[in-house]
Structure 1
């Protein structure tokens, strides 16, 4: 890692007049904020044995009586090796996640009638215990219908074959009662009221079915069964999109949105998605892939002023579906955050934050959603990668580095933001397809607020917003920013503060994004901001105009109780390297391109491949110690920690064992009337390669990743006749952690790649769709295969 660069910015203070002829974007935020209402929601026990409280009013969540705007991330315990849970939950905490959510897939625990399986990778009790140890709260999504791209939505075959589901049929509800009782037993002693981390449960999923014994009646019946099973929790939620139906007041709706629709049938680019456009009149995003069709508006529309705006399924990636294989960019995801927060979201929930793999059922039965089992979509049998910020084996994806600064912002400033009302500008886009009108909003309460802006839309270049200034009318006066008009480039998105209190120093505005506040001991109080690419960083302070020295690292802006108050300004690249960790009892900034987190009181540093393990820490650790660790103070703020790289990467022997045959034509059909995954017999035409592992295991490696770069239709990796993983080609490199499979040194794996036909009616992003030569009808190619070690060092502070 390069040493942190000298940070530069001009800091301005005082009343700054707008430049003449600016294209001023105006917004009136003078109206008072409505008083939150309480008592409407029928919540469970809100107080823990220690006297901690968790509640909700009509606008936001409250923790210990204070407004709380947390970040929630989905991680499916039964789709991950239990041996990885502890480290991965700690990684999620380090990334700024406050709550981990997980489905309980019924057919993962009771695939056949009779006893339930809660052992090994299905041990819900242990997973929740480890989440608590990592400092995470937990929301358990109970089902019984979960979807989650699982077979029959997670309901076992023997239930689907025998009786009506998703309603109050007595036989079905008898089995649901047993399921809920089992889940309740797993969570015993781990609920909030017991001092545990479980603060909420979700009932059913994407439920918009009406009729006798359905609709509100069914959700009410499920809640009664949850309570009967002992699941008395502060929050009961249901998904609020696609015309959902529920008993108002008994549950709280949660919302979501995705930057593309892999469940769509189009083989072309989709129109601009509303997840990149601010919403001022509704909380309900567009199509989120519900399996049933709504015929009228749902309860969430009429509940808007009674319940807080909570999110559960904002996609930090997308699932792979056979007919549509969207590969999103990190900016496609990160640009959603200012939009959703600026639209009023007061709990930001991701689905999925951590990828996984489906377990294989009895006799090798796939437990995935498929057209063969009557599902709407075809998904891989095993892979549930989801392009998630943390991959199935804990890999850090580039999108994670874009999201972390927003999470840290919410951790320090979310309590203020939660109380703020959404304000609509004088001019806003008429619809998501309007790419010309600037996209922005303000959330404010009194004279304080935050300005949200987005100039990024997936697959659609946005015009530069030239000579732009903002004029925000607040009760105490108008704030105009920046001091002179600026051009806001295509792809820019940001959050800027208005009248932010920096520990007693009044910041009228900044054209940089607040990230975190750190008590840096002898250095005083440090407020960390990130610059917006291409826009000068201005800080308007109350007591005159000051220009700070451009080479100073900590830029002092005032004092508080005799202590310095400073600003640390990061470039966008530096902000992406930042993690905020509590090490040795002190909150510290850790900059690294690799993974960093804390476990057992030690700083963990993990990297992939031969490169050195490196991090820069502020404030410095007193006496960091680890085998092979080199420590250096670079003459400035940063303490450099370096462990030398390892160039002895394990060698993989690759040989062709079978050339591809002529793949059969891809057929259309199923409930969607679109391309369906080829039948199993089609894989007789797959090209195959032998992948021989080295005879000696990689010394000192925590894991070894098999990385495959292929072009084709579907890839599968086998050990003997056992499929280890599978993958739909979409241009993304495929990585598989081998440790979990306990393979013997020198073992031989087999890769099979079903050819992708040139006429296949599937969507692949233009940047990754193969360019078929004239006369070429199909492709099955292995462009690269290698092994990468995963190295980890634990540093005692």
Structure 2
């Protein structure tokens, strides 16, 4: 493979040169020419990997496989017990629409066997029904059976009657007796639902954050747990353990999984965190920094020793962070999204979120949370487990989803290409998390194709602009220099660019836009890309593989100054195309096949869903959250009763032929998209708030616990809270005609709690974010008063709050202020397909 131009080849190994605009050219070089490592097989002893229909799931030393092909899925943690069972189907449909393939979930022992010998698998604890719903919605499942799971639950999920009576987390015979009984119960719940039965359960995780090496402990205990699971009938293709914090496990029996979080709320510092390691590429150990394990070990763990035998799998890359009393970081969407290019570029071949969906602890379990009072390392809310996750505690879709979905779609489309690619480090590597100046990038390649990963975002730390930058990537048969002209990369930018990617017979040398997905249309096979902010999209093709390139007429809008929709030039056998003003273009290969290249602006890519509807997969652009349910298109919009939905390929029938209860829909053209303007009747209800009592002075925040840091207030302290009565009409609580409605509380203080009568239905540690309570997510008794209490936050509290949300500088000695309580509707419109639609592609 040759470089783009002669002078680019001459400069490929140079660090600097002249560039337009007076900036020196910075050429970032990386040698990815060495052959990718061949996978080793049979390095792990797994269970039955073939389903009754002949489908297979496998694992080698490099990646997972599905039906013999490389497979790079996305996994998201959803705790069934933390959601009402009535919402599981809705939750899983939204999960699927977000581009997630596998649902992971803990089995929390204390929830299911609160008293010895009495098991509860009913309602929100109905594991079988949850997994059946996964199967119904074509989602796979990985069940984390513990028995110790952490999950910010008391005793890591072990029942109190176990902890009170026997040694745990080891091969104590009495403990193993009860663990075996638990595993048998889980196996009964999952009977017929394992992969070997044609079901969705492909994996079992054993224990969690296990680094104990005392008597009856160590790697042998994990081997025992695997044996007990298999003896119970939990025969699956994949057995995992968490590999961080010096984890120990038996070699060849389980695959370690890894993770990382953008902040450490389990830390002890009341100050802003230093630059976090999750934003720097890994070229050595897969083991991340502190992930909050409850036990500590100074001995080296086992994860690095088996890195050549097991793939780099993720299970706990933070989709958010938990609320903990002493540290309350607030995340921005880019804090989560920037982790994906870094971790994928570091070799991750399963991207797993913890959490994907927030929730609340089961009603009635008022002492089930992790707390320092019960020997835990952290204090968390009694009820709330929102986690600032992409889907919040009520299931509300958050902004970050728009940044994650395009990468999930990319992995679904090109994961089989990426998975076998090795990781290659640049000539100049960043010196560690605190080095904010050195450009952070990596290449994953396999021969003459691969991907360039770049990140210029570090949470809460200013990154420099990199000016006049180009890349030189050496692949197996030559170097690729990109782009033609140097570019400036702004602070906060991250991206994934293809290098040497093939589209059938068409060879794309590189693109300065991020691949997202492909769909079919009457215009041809459509390749969808997302533009990188501040960098013009540029596509370089091997001219020998291309017959013609022309703008797609339906996508063209007038360009400033009458410029053509496309600019093209050829040099050294490379045809460079730059679409202007959002124009799509058609590439015709030498055999006459048409490929359409569409580049979405980043803001539009963040509004993108790719869903089957009306007979085929379509691009759906909307500010409303979109998902498919039983061939219907469901659109949900929080607060906004009017919104646009852009659809491509356009629908064969106009909206007048559709079903949309109480909605008006107008259709028009918007470039290559069909634009639907959706209007639904507005809903509005007033909320009346009455002050019941003023706050009293609270004592200083205590320090203590195993962390020797700020601990949650004693129960008696809550008698000093300020209190308000909240009156909401029955109609507002019924939310008739809406998918949900939220009581949104904005306040300043320490800990807020909401009671329906005497029942605590939700709580919140103040962090500056609005606190939302879905009326369909908690049990609000319309005949009982709603009461809100706020515990004052002292100015001297040794608690970390983000500076932008810290109310203390202007608050005097303490603060407990209610700013507002509002009722926010979530509108839903359901569109039905035309009965004559063709089969979905």
Q: TM-score range by the shorter chain?
A: over 0.9
Q: Partners of 2:307 and 2:378 in 1: how far apart?
A: 32
After TM superposition, list the pairs within 5 Å mapping 1:193-342 onto structure 2: 193-342=196-345
Query: Which has the larger displacement, 628-637 or 207-216?
Result: 628-637
Which of 706, 710, 713 is the equivalent residue of 1:678? Answer: 713
Instruction: Name 2:584's counterpart in structure 1.
Output: 554
Asked if 2 retains the 8 angstrom alpha-carbon contact of 1:91 and 1:597, the reply is yes
1:396 match: secondary structure:
coil
Instruction: Name 2:564's counterpart in structure 1.
Output: none
Asked if 2 retains the 8 angstrom alpha-carbon contact of 1:68 and 1:414, the reply is yes
Q: CA deviation at 1:551?
A: 4.9
1:596 match: secondary structure:
strand
Asked if 2 retains the 8 angstrom alpha-carbon contact of 1:496 and 1:514, the reply is yes
Instruction: Name 1:111's counterpart in structure 2.
Output: 114
Q: After superposition, what is the alpha-carbon deviation per residue over 1:358-396, rounded to whole angstroms, capped at 9, x for unaligned?
A: 1144xx532100011110000000000000000111101
Q: After superposition, what is the alpha-carbon deviation per residue over 1:182-220, rounded to whole angstroms, capped at 9, x for unaligned?
A: 000000000000000000000000000013321111001
Which of 659, 667, 672 is the equivalent residue of 1:626? Answer: 659
Instruction: Name 1:154's counterpart in structure 2.
Output: 157
Instruction: Name 2:686's counterpart in structure 1.
Output: 651
Asked if 2 retains the 8 angstrom alpha-carbon contact of 1:716 and 1:753, the reply is yes
Determine if the alignment matches structure 1 residue 376 to structure 2 residue 377: yes
Determine if the alignment matches structure 1 residue 445 to structure 2 residue 446: yes
Query: Which has the larger displacement, 609-618 or 497-506?
Result: 609-618
Asked if 2 retains the 8 angstrom alpha-carbon contact of 1:17 and 1:483, the reply is no
Instruction: Name 1:485's counterpart in structure 2.
Output: 486
Instruction: Name 1:761's counterpart in structure 2.
Output: 798
Q: CA deviation at 1:430?
A: 1.4
Which of 629, 635, 653 is the equivalent residue of 1:605? Answer: 635
Which of 763, 787, 797 is the equivalent residue of 1:726? Answer: 763
Query: Which has the larger displacement, 582-591 or 755-764?
Result: 582-591
Query: Which has the larger displacement, 532-541 or 19-28?
Result: 19-28
Determine if the alignment matches structure 1 residue 84 to structure 2 residue 87: yes
1:91 match: secondary structure:
helix
Q: CA deviation at 1:795?
A: 0.6
Determine if the alignment matches structure 1 residue 584 to structure 2 residue 614: yes
Instruction: Name 1:366's counterpart in structure 2.
Output: 367
The verdict on how the C-alpha distance between 1:210 and 1:560 changes in structure 2, with shifts beyond 3 A counting, is farther
Instruction: Name 1:74's counterpart in structure 2.
Output: 77
Q: CA deviation at 1:608?
A: 1.5
2:40 match: secondary structure:
coil
Q: After superposition, what is the alpha-carbon deviation per residue over 1:673-693, rounded to whole angstroms, capped at 9, x for unaligned?
A: 000000111111111111101
1:299 match: secondary structure:
coil
Instruction: Name 2:740's counterpart in structure 1.
Output: 703
Asked if 1 retains the 8 angstrom alpha-carbon contact of 2:757 and 2:784, the reply is no
Q: Partners of 1:547 and 1:476 in 2: how far apart?
A: 23
Instruction: Name 2:49's counterpart in structure 1.
Output: 46
Q: After superposition, what is the alpha-carbon deviation per residue over 1:126-182, rounded to whole angstroms, capped at 9, x for unaligned?
A: 000111111110000001000010000000001000100000001111000010000
Asked if 2 retains the 8 angstrom alpha-carbon contact of 1:714 and 1:726, the reply is yes
Q: Which runs of 5+ in 2 are unaligned?
A: 12-16, 19-24, 544-569, 834-841
The verdict on how the C-alpha distance between 1:317 and 1:635 changes in structure 2, with shifts beyond 3 A counting, is closer
Asked if 1 retains the 8 angstrom alpha-carbon contact of 2:366 and 2:382, the reply is no
Which of 578, 592, 596 is the equivalent residue of 2:626? Answer: 596
Specify which structure has the bigger relative contact order, considering alpha-carbon pairs within 8 angstroms and separated by 6 or more residues: 1
Q: CA deviation at 1:428?
A: 0.7
Query: Which has the larger displacement, 44-53 or 619-628?
Result: 619-628
Determine if the alignment matches structure 1 residue 529 to structure 2 residue 566: no
Instruction: Name 1:779's counterpart in structure 2.
Output: 815
After TM superposition, list the pairs within 5 Å mapping 1:514-525 onto structure 2: 514-520=515-521, 522-525=522-525
Asked if 1 retains the 8 angstrom alpha-carbon contact of 2:394 and 2:777, the reply is no
1:115 match: secondary structure:
coil
Q: CA deviation at 1:484?
A: 1.4
The verdict on how the C-alpha distance between 1:16 and 1:421 changes in structure 2, with shifts beyond 3 A counting, is same
The verdict on how the C-alpha distance between 1:451 and 1:225 changes in structure 2, with shifts beyond 3 A counting, is same
Determine if the alignment matches structure 1 residue 751 to structure 2 residue 784: no
Q: Partners of 2:287 and 2:705 in 1: how far apart?
A: 28
Asked if 1 retains the 8 angstrom alpha-carbon contact of 2:687 and 2:821, the reply is yes
Determine if the alignment matches structure 1 residue 790 to structure 2 residue 793: no
Asked if 2 retains the 8 angstrom alpha-carbon contact of 1:606 and 1:613, the reply is no
Q: Partners of 1:148 and 1:688 in 2: how far apart?
A: 31
Q: Partners of 2:7 and 2:319 in 1: how far apart?
A: 40
**What TM-score do you get using the length of structure 1 for normalisation?**
0.96
Instruction: Name 2:700's counterpart in structure 1.
Output: 665
Asked if 2 retains the 8 angstrom alpha-carbon contact of 1:654 and 1:691, the reply is yes
2:809 match: secondary structure:
coil
Instruction: Name 1:130's counterpart in structure 2.
Output: 133
Asked if 1 retains the 8 angstrom alpha-carbon contact of 2:103 and 2:141, the reply is yes
Q: Partners of 2:455 and 2:324 in 1: how far apart?
A: 28
Q: Partners of 1:481 and 1:548 in 2: how far apart?
A: 13
Asked if 2 retains the 8 angstrom alpha-carbon contact of 1:695 and 1:746, the reply is no
Q: CA deviation at 1:15?
A: 4.1
Asked if 2 retains the 8 angstrom alpha-carbon contact of 1:610 and 1:645, the reply is no
Instruction: Name 2:463's counterpart in structure 1.
Output: 462
Asked if 1 retains the 8 angstrom alpha-carbon contact of 2:742 and 2:824, the reply is yes
1:283 match: secondary structure:
coil
Q: After superposition, what is the alpha-carbon deviation per residue over 1:674-726, rounded to whole angstroms, capped at 9, x for unaligned?
A: 00000111111111111101143444122221111111000100001000000
Asked if 1 retains the 8 angstrom alpha-carbon contact of 2:695 and 2:816, the reply is yes
Q: Partners of 2:605 and 2:640 in 1: how far apart?
A: 24
Instruction: Name 1:26's counterpart in structure 2.
Output: 29
Asked if 1 retains the 8 angstrom alpha-carbon contact of 2:4 and 2:482, the reply is no
Q: Partners of 1:648 and 1:29 in 2: how far apart?
A: 57
Q: RMSD of the TM alignment (CA)?
A: 1.6
Count, aligned residues: 781
The verdict on how the C-alpha distance between 1:178 and 1:108 changes in structure 2, with shifts beyond 3 A counting, is same
Asked if 2 retains the 8 angstrom alpha-carbon contact of 1:610 and 1:649, the reply is no
Asked if 2 retains the 8 angstrom alpha-carbon contact of 1:358 and 1:381, the reply is yes
Q: Which runs of 5+ in 1 are unaligned?
A: 1-12
Q: Partners of 1:564 and 1:192 in 2: how far apart?
A: 39
Asked if 2 retains the 8 angstrom alpha-carbon contact of 1:613 and 1:645, the reply is no
Q: Partners of 1:240 and 1:255 in 2: how far apart?
A: 6
Q: CA deviation at 1:742?
A: 5.0
The verdict on how the C-alpha distance between 1:82 and 1:294 changes in structure 2, with shifts beyond 3 A counting, is same
Q: After superposition, what is the alpha-carbon deviation per residue over 1:404-443, rounded to whole angstroms, capped at 9, x for unaligned?
A: 1110110101110000000011101111111111100000
Query: Which has the larger displacement, 85-94 or 19-28?
Result: 19-28
